[in-house]
A and B are shown apart, each in its own frame.
Chain A
Amino acid sequence: MPIPLRPSLALALLALAAPAGAQTNPLEGDTQAPQAAVAVDASGGLVIPTEARGQLLPDPDNAATGGVAFADEEGWYRFTMPNGGRIDMAGPMRSFIFDAGTIETKCAAQRLPDGSFAAFTMAAIQAEIDTLYEPFDALIAQLGFTIENRATMVLDTPGQRSAIPLKLLGWDTRSSEDVRATWAIMPAPAGLLLFACSGADPGHHREVMRRYLRIGSGMTTRP
């Protein structure tokens, strides 16, 4: 499928090993007020209020560390930068520059409206997602990256409530300049979300996506 795309990611690597810190009890201190329940649609997509879309706003869950979250203009995704960070726009691609722990990390997202999956429900796409790598391999190669590993990612960290955690196609890649990046594609009725991260190593990239990327209901609902 021809997809107009001009990746202009200047993704750099600053791999600093995270020190193994002392164990701190997450329950330490007094009882906290309960968190607000996270709203999700029937497919597991995060319901992003219209007024929050297209904005970089403080993230209440990471207020202590200056966290911010950006919600996509169309409500396709929400991405959190737990220690703060900045966003940029390069053509159609939105980039995120932030520190994940002690590692400087760059991520990028692009909406690719596409009707290929409009006929299918989110549940049907998710059930067959592992069979969808082949059509997209060429896209990853077109971006100038060599595929080193394909593994499906599960967005299973808190926030999903009891919804079935959504799965994304994932490619660990390396460019000719030896830049390592992990690419993810989320096929959905509304189209494809292309997401990439580069920081330390594939494990780190995947952890960043698992923890901080949320798929929004704008994508899981048919246009």
Chain B
Amino acid sequence: MSGTDWDRRSVLRGGAGIMSAVAAGGLAAGPLQAANGMVPLAGMSMKNYHQVMAKILARTTRIAVPSYRFGLVMRNGMGASSGQGSTKVDLTADLVGVDPAMMRQIAHLAFSDFIERLRATGRTVLGWNEISSSEGFRKLDPTPDPFLKKPFADSRTVAVVSPEYLPLLTIGPEAPLSDRSPFNLGNARALNAMSAALKCVVVIPSLVMDFAALTGSGHSTYGGGANVGIQPGLFLVPLFTHCNFFHAKIALAGEMARVILEDRVAVGQAGQLVQTSNFNNNAEIEEWNAYVRSNAWWTEPNMAAPSRPTLGYNYSTYQYRVDPALLQTAALDAARATHGLYMGVINANPAAA
């Protein structure tokens, strides 16, 4: 892990001083770097998911998939402080080299894989003519694509798209990755109407990846040190990665099943993490440290001594610069693995024809 680790007490004691910010990532960044504390993609199983109400999948063999969502965390940040704010560290990281068209292409390939697998389960997958002509579909209120969301009290900014031929759909209870109030049940009702009219289960998968895991020591009043760190590497984001299933016997009300990722799943590297800026008072602190370590304060009592720093700060910005081909490969690997598990859930709840 690289990042910034500060200890103001050691600064003021003239001790070891402050570790300066370290440029992170680079060519040496290996796939295992992000895997610390995460589940490797090859090891992901249903143990890493939370299932709710999957039994509704047994109610019908017919499945409609009116949308597919693919998201990327485009910006993330972490801050830490201690000593009532006298030591502050902060980093911001951006995902660079991705545009909506590229994301939509990945969404298209992932959606195609999902449909191919769904058909291989032996279920009847409804065609677009049937889906789009249903009354429920006409009632859907799509979200503008791309959808950018910075959830409340969350430093992440997430971009979500769907394949260019599918509407991007969110429902209120999917907060925080939604553009509507949790009390807005419009789309949920429309999906219920679709399910009731077409006598099917409506499925909407969501796959969201992040590019770096951030760690921080938080904000403490009495502690002497503050640190933040960044581990580059793609991973599947818990909670944001999920699959929703809707089933309704009548349009007014229905039931919802969810399969929700609970753990971070390391997917691998698709680029390089580069530190693009750093703003700090290392020099000021080092000057003070040098003064304290020397005996000038005793032998030269009349010298112009440096001012004792009252604040230690270090602000860094990073970019994770992706190789589009690697990103696509990694995203599709992740999609295949998650889809395989979703199919396992579907197969585990067989429906009578």
Contacts and interface: CB of A to CB of B under 8 A. Distances in A.
Interface of A: 20, 23-38, 152, 154, 156-162, 165, 203
A27 to B, nearest CB: 4
Given A161-B347, A162-B343, A203-B329, A27 B65 contact: yes
A25 B165 contact: yes
Contact of B115 (A27, A30, A157, A159): A27
A25 B164 CA distance: 9
A157 B125 contact: no
B122 interface: yes
Contacts of A162: 343-344, 347-348
A38 B163 CA distance: 28
Nearest to B163: A23
A38 B121 CA distance: 8
Nearest to B344: A162
A34 B123 contact: yes
Top 4 closest pairs, chain A to chain B, by CB:
A158-B120, A37-B122, A162-B347, A31-B127
A25 B347 contact: no
Nearest to A152: B42
Interface string B132-175: 00000000000000000000000000000001111000000000
Given A26-B116, A162-B347, A203-B329, 18 more contacts: A23-B163, A23-B165, A25-B165, A26-B111, A27-B65, A27-B115, A27-B131, A31-B124, A32-B119, A34-B122, A35-B119, A157-B117, A158-B116, A158-B117, A158-B120, A160-B340, A161-B121, A161-B347
Contact of B120 (A23, A32, A38, A154): A38
A29 B129 contact: yes
B105 interface: yes
A37 B122 CA distance: 5
A157 B130 CA distance: 27
Contacts of B128: 25, 27-29
B88 interface: no
Nearest to B132: A27
B107 to A, nearest CB: 9
A214 B73 CA distance: 35
A4 B49 CA distance: 47
A29 B61 CA distance: 19
A26 B115 contact: yes
Most chain-B Cβ atoms within 10 A of its Cβ — which of A34, A36, A159?
A34
Nearest to B118: A158
A55 to B, nearest CB: 22
B327 to A, nearest CB: 13
B321 interface: no
Contacts of A161: 120-121, 343, 347
A87 B111 CA distance: 32
6 contacts: A23-B108, A25-B165, A27-B127, A30-B127, A156-B337, A156-B340
Contacts of B113: 157-158
Contacts of A24: 165
B189 interface: no
A27 B131 CA distance: 9
A82 to B, nearest CB: 12
A157 B110 CA distance: 12
B111 A30 contact: no
B129 A156 contact: no
Contact of B127 (A20, A29, A34, A159): A29
B105 A27 contact: no
A24 B128 CA distance: 11
A203 B330 CA distance: 12
A38 B347 CA distance: 12
Interface string B293-308: 0000000000000000
B247 interface: no
